[in-house]
Structure 1
């Protein structure tokens, strides 16, 4: 397995993004939901923390794709 220092910036970004995806999925009790759908679910549930960062999270989602 690669050490963190040997990863490219792209690989580091994907690793962090995937961790973020998992954390938000667990927070909303929807671990298998796609990231964009999680943002919509957070809005429906009026999750203040996620909504506070929604614009940035959506940017990262688009950047990842």
Structure 2
């Protein structure tokens, strides 16, 4: 599945852009699926998950 954006310049791929995705604690969740698709498109992705007891940075790419 291709993820595209309309940035006012004719749109295009998200390759080479940076995205922040939250809510990635479950591999079956939508946040994880979105992050996986963005990575497949060549987007740099910062994954973050806020836990009740503490805030925790999961991973960066």
Length-normalised TM-score, structure 1:
0.28
Greater helix fraction, Structure 1 or Structure 2: 1
Greater strand fraction, Structure 1 or Structure 2: 2
**Structure possessing the higher relative contact order (Cα contacts under 8 Å, 6 or more residues apart):** 2
